[in-house]
Amino acid sequence: MPNIRPVSDLRNNFAEITREIQLSNEPVFLTKNGVGSLVVMSMEQYEQNRYDSMVYDKLREAELQAASTTERRTHEEVLHKARAILEQAENRHV
C-alpha cells in the first residue's frame, strides 16, 4: 500500500519520513490540498528506477528492431562481436 502523506509532513517530520524511506526503500507520495504533488524516494531507489527504465527502453528498441528484419544471430555471434567491441575500446584507452 503506498505511503501517502500531506506535503506539510515533509516540513514537520522530515527525519521520520527520511527514515521510513531508507528502511522501506519505497517512495512517499506527498499531497497538497488532497491532490498528488510530489514523490520522495531514496537516491538508491531513484537510480534503480532509472536503470530499470533504461533496460526496458533498450529491450523495447531491440524488439522493434527484431520485428523489422528477419536477420537473426546466434548467442556465440553476439558474444564474439561484443568482445571485439570491448577489446577495441580497451585498446583506445591504453
**pTM for the predicted model, two decimal places:** 0.65
Report the pLDDT value the prediction gives residue 93, as an integer from 0 to 100: 76
| pLDDT tens track, the chain, 94 positions | 899 999 999 889 999 999 999 999 999 999 999 999 999 999 999 999 999 999 999 999 999 999 999 989 999 999 999 999 999 999 987 6
Residues 57 and 80 occupy one common structural domain: yes
Residues 58 and 34 occupy one common structural domain: no
Residues 16 and 37 occupy one common structural domain: yes
Q: In the block, which residue shows the cell 501517502?
A: 4
Q: Are 45 and 22 a contacting pair, CB within 8 Å?
A: no
Q: Which domain holds residue 82?
A: 45-93
Residues 24 and 50 occupy one common structural domain: no
Q: Supply 42's cell numbers.
A: 531514496
User: Count of domains in the chain?
Assistant: 2
Cβ partners under 8 Å of residue 39, min gap 6: 27, 28, 29, 30
Residue 62 burial by Cβ neighbours in a 10 Å radius (0-12, 13-18, 19+): exposed
Report the pLDDT value the prediction gives residue 92, as an integer from 0 to 100: 87
Residues 66 and 27 occupy one common structural domain: no
